[in-house]
Amino acid sequence: MIPIAALISIAGLIVCNLWISSSRIDPASLLFIVWNCVPVFVTLGVNALHRKTPIKRRMQRFGMTGFSIVNLGLTALSHLMWMFDIGKTKTGSSTSALLFVFLPISAMFFGLVGFLVGLVVGSLGGEPDQPTPG
């Protein structure tokens, strides 16, 4: 069974790929595109780390899942809103493209908030600590 965080990572890569394919590629914009894909790469790294090292604590699994969902959810939602101009995200302001300068930083911050919420939710459960199947 594929974990939900891996599915969200795949969705994030698809959104980044759509954005890359819809824009004109030159060396300056390539660095900007890579900058905006940082939350996806970090989430993939977190998921790879989660698969490689067995995590014995339920709260840590919930924390990593919370990080992945919030981090990639915010990134994917922002990119989709921009691509399809939902709520005049793209055309509503002359400085609306600044969203993509600060998006990776804010996605990582709110991903950490999701991690903390996942830790709290994971600590509330009655399941004993068990290693994850590897």
Q: Where are the domains of the chain?
A: 4-124
pTM: 0.72
pLDDT in the model for residue 110 = 96
What pLDDT shows up at residue 79?
81
Q: What is the DSSP string of the chain?
A: ---HHHHHHHHHHHHHHHHHHHS---HHHHHHHHHHTHHHHHHHHHHHHHHHS----HHHHHHHHHHHHHHHHHHHHHHHHHHTTGGGTTTS-TTGGGHHHHHHHHHHHHHHHHHHHHHHHHHHS-PPP-PPP-
- What integer pLDDT is reported at residue 60 of this predicted model? 80
Residues 6+ away with beta carbon under 8 Å from 33? 16, 19, 20, 23, 25
Per-residue pLDDT of the chain (134 residues; tens, 9 = 90+): 356 656 666 666 666 666 666 656 666 677 777 788 888 888 878 777 776 666 667 778 888 888 888 988 888 888 888 878 888 888 888 888 888 889 999 999 999 999 999 888 888 866 555 555 55
pLDDT confidence of residue 78: 86
Query: What whole-number distance in Å separates Cα of residue 44 and Cα of residue 5?
Result: 9
